[in-house]
Structure formats: C-alpha cells, structure tokens
Amino acid sequence: MTSSSEGSTKDQTPEESTAEVRAADVALDTAGGTLEPSIVPVSSQSGDTGHQQGSLMRRIVMGNGFVSVLAVIVALFLGGLLIASTDAQVAKTAGYLFARPSDFLTALWSAMTDSYVALFQGSVFSPREGFKPILETMTVATPLICAGLGVALAFRAGLFNIGAQGQIIISATLAAYVGFTWHLPFGLHLLLVIIMGVLGGAAWGAIVGILKARTGAHEVIVTIMLNYVALFLLDFLLNTSAFRRPGDNSPISPRLDESATYPVLIPGSRLHLGFLVAIALTYGVWWMLNRSTIGFEFRAVGANPIAARTAGVKVPRATILVMALAGALAAFGGVAQVAGTEKVLTGGVAAQIGFDSITVALLGRSTPWGTFFAGLLFGAFRAGAVQMQIQTGTPIDIVLVVQSLIVLFIAAPPLIRSIFRLESKKKKKNKTPKAAPEAALANATGGAK
C-alpha cells in the first residue's frame, strides 16, 4: 500500500526515480501493442524477458498462454482431489488400499470425474438438453465479463478496483428503479435503464478516483469500504416503500417492465442482448487501450505515473477517468443482472460477481479478450456448479476453490513451471538476481500506487 504518486515523489532518491523510469521504459515497450499488460504479467515475465534464444517449441511451452492452461488443469485436479477426499466411497476403499488398490483408484477416479462431468453437463453440453447449457453459461458470463473489463481496465492504469461489487449494486439499483417505476415505450425505456445504471456505476467509481487523485486515499481501501456502503444502502432501499413490491413484506422489488429489459436472443433460454453488449464492450475496451490516445495515457500512468506526468499526462484526470470508466463497465454488469437475467432487484442482485470479476480479470491477464474468455470460463463454472450440486451433492464452493487456485498458479508462473519441470536449464538460478529486480520494480510501479 504505497502512498499516492505525489507522496512518493517527494521522498524519493534520484536513484529510485531513475530506476522507476527504467522500469517504465521496459513496461511501456512491452505494452506497445497487444503484448503484455503491466500488472500481473510483469511478475510472470521474470523468467523469460530478455533472452529469446530458445526454440519456437520452448517459447510456446514457456509462454503465458500455456501456463494459463496448465494452471487451469492443475487447479481442476486439486479441486478433484478435494472432492475425492470427502467422498464416502473413497474413504471406504482407502481402508483396504493395500489389499485392493484398484478399488481405491476406481473410487478416486469416479469421485473426481463425476462432479466434473456434471459440471460440464451443466455448462456446455448434456445429452438430455443438447447445447442449451452453453447458453446459460453465456448468460451467467455476461455480468462477469462486463465487471471483469472494469477491473482489467483499472489494472492497466495501475489501479486496483476491488469495488466492482459496489459499482454493480449501485447501477443495478438505479437501473431497476427506472425499470419498474417509469413506464415508457420500447427502446427508449431500455436505453434510459442502461444510461441511469451506467451513470450510477460511473459515479460510484468516480468517487474513488476523485478521492485518490485529490487526497491520495488508497483506492483498495476506498473501494472495499464503498462495497459495504453500497450493500447496506441497497438493503435500506429495499425496505422502503419506493422499492418494495406492493403488498409484500420481503425485500424484493417489483418486476421490471417488459420494455425495460434486454430482449431474449434465443427463445427457450435466458440468453439476452446483454451478451452482445458485453462483446461490444470488450471490443471497445480493446480499441481504447490499444488504438486511442487516452488508452495510451492510461497505460502510461499504469506503467509509471511519474514518467507519465513528465511526459505531459494529467495523472489526476486519468485516475478519475479510469475509475469512472471502470465503474461504468461494471455497471453494464449490474444492468445485465436486473434488466436481463433476474428482472427484479433483490439484496443478492450482485451475488459474488464483483469479487469473481477480480479473478476473471487476473485470469485474463488484464487484456480485454483475455478477460472475455476468462469470463466465459468462470461463467461455465458458475452455471455448471448448480447442476453439479444437484446431481452429485458437491457444494458449489468448490468453484471458489478452483477459481482461486487458478489465479494463484497464474500469478506465480515459476510455481507452475516447477511443478511440470518446464525449466530446461539450471541457469535460471543464476539469472534470478539480474532478472528479478526489473520484475520487482515493474511490479511495484505497475501495481497499485
């Protein structure tokens, strides 16, 4: 939790600032195209920045994409072991493990695979329903993608947006209010629902940006606190007559007007227009980050605020703008929840989406399309987990375990490489002292300031 950029400049020695500038150069170089964002991945580059003499095969194997796949596999395997460890059949057969090991292995295998088969059937394809589950996956993924984009955008600008949860809640509240109190014609109504929701989320995010830019308040703290403020605010509002369903005492809002909701894309499923919006947003964020001046400024601030300021970027303005945009992106997730998936406002409207979106952005390495596919994967976990719990009784919480393990493994590629012995040469031991400081510096500067 370093102090704000202004704060840190004052007490810096010249050596430190030059070192930071150097680190920024490194980060900016890599961020020139669609290469690496500056935040998580920089630490993951520690091993292989600088020396590319390896063969093509080795580069594929050492590459980040491959590590991501391995991370998912290892996490799923460990999750499977966890499921098996509490399985009654496995425990029984473990009792006579040495007498008949095949029983134990069969039980172990079936305990691990049964749950995942159910997960797959609930999220992609089941013999009974065909490909219908994949539509549910896309529905569940929609808010995850939107909010994940918000988190990723902030990451790229060196800001930790832990506040997607609050931004979703505020936007869902405003959007739902417009959706069930105003009665407007088709098209216009939905448009206003989206606008109000997005404005709400943007404002909630901008509070953080303004506080950070003006007072140096750390955005991690402010966003965490604002999440709870938003949660209690929603709880309060749902107990007022303006939001409560008439004639009902439980904290649930009236249903949104038909004209206020996203149209369903494929009849018979819940998949709605919000998914296409999410795709458009993904493209938009990619365009902004990689093709526009403002996106370049954001990345420059993320790589090194001091260097960015020297180059003429207005850092406080960029901070406020990034947080507002991040809030707006998360807000699309909130709108997708109330105007697409749920169609009512409840206290649990944001579920765990805001927190999941952080892992989504991390798995997507803070790139827009990476976030998109990570959102789809975690959406599949979420959608499939419901089916898994019904069929095999495995608690949904296993999804949380797998998700967090994936992110942990991805965040620390040396770990996953050492598990699979991907380090072909011993030279890494000698390299570390030289390569690591760069990574550390870039990690520090590209990380939350």
Does 412 contact other proteins by CB under 8 A?
yes
Total binding residues for other proteins by CB under 8 A?
Answer: 64
Binding mask 83-122 for other proteins (x = CB under 8 A): ---x------------------------------------
Q: How many CB atoms lie within 10 A of CB 396?
A: 13
Does 242 contact other proteins by CB under 8 A?
no
The pair of three-digit structure tokens given for residue 396, joined into one six-digit string:
């949904």
The dihedral through the CA atoms of 316, 319, 322, 325 has a sign that is negative
Which residue's CB is nearer to other proteins, number 134 or number 345?
A: 345
Does 267 contact other proteins by CB under 8 A?
no
Q: Which one among 5, 30, 46, 115 touches other proteins, defined by CB under 8 A? A: 46
Which residue's CB is nearer to other proteins, number 235 or number 248?
A: 235
Q: Which one among 24, 27, 28, 39 touches other proteins, defined by CB under 8 A? A: 39
Which residues between 347 and 376 bind other proteins (CB under 8 A)? 355, 358-359, 362
Does 220 contact other proteins by CB under 8 A?
yes
Does 228 contact other proteins by CB under 8 A?
yes
**Calpha distance 279→320 (Å, rounded):** 25
**Calpha distance 195→143 (Å, rounded):** 16
Q: Which one among 19, 184, 192, 217 touches other proteins, defined by CB under 8 A? A: 217
Does 50 contact other proteins by CB under 8 A?
no
Does 399 contact other proteins by CB under 8 A?
yes
Q: Of the listed pieces 91-99, 297-305, 314-322, 391-399, which binds other proteins according to CB under 8 A? A: 391-399
Cα angle vertex 193, ends 189, 199, to 5°? 140
By C-alpha distance, which of 352, 180, 348, 354 is closest to 251?
348
Mapped onto helix, strand or coil, the DSSP state of residue 264 is strand
What is the identity of the amino acid at 192?
L
By C-alpha distance, which of 104, 79, 260, 296 is closest to 185?
260
CB 39 within 8 A of CB 158: yes
Closest distance to other proteins from the beta carbon of 398 (Å):
5
**Calpha distance 402→319 (Å, rounded):** 33
What is the identity of the amino acid at 421?
R
**Calpha distance 260→383 (Å, rounded):** 25
> What is the widest separation between alpha-carbon atoms in the chain?
74
Sole residue written with tokens 């007072």: 215
Which residue's CB is nearer to other proteins, number 126 or number 319?
A: 319
Closest distance to other proteins from the beta carbon of 363 (Å):
10
Closest distance to other proteins from the beta carbon of 99 (Å):
26
Closest distance to other proteins from the beta carbon of 440 (Å):
4
CB 373 within 8 A of CB 137: no
Does 203 contact other proteins by CB under 8 A?
no
Does 218 contact other proteins by CB under 8 A?
yes
What residues have CB less than 8 Å from 166, skipping those under 6 apart?
Answer: 204, 223, 226, 227, 228, 229, 230, 231, 354
The C-alpha torsion from 152 through 6 and 444 to 313, rounded to 10°, is: 50
Binding mask 296-315 for other proteins (x = CB under 8 A): --------------------
Residue ranges that bind other proteins, judged by CB under 8 A: 1-4, 7, 10-11, 39-40, 43, 46, 82, 86, 160, 162, 211, 215-218, 220-222, 224-226, 228-229, 232-233, 235-236, 239, 355, 358-359, 362, 394-395, 397-405, 407-408, 411-412, 414-415, 433-434, 436-437, 439-440, 443-444, 447-448
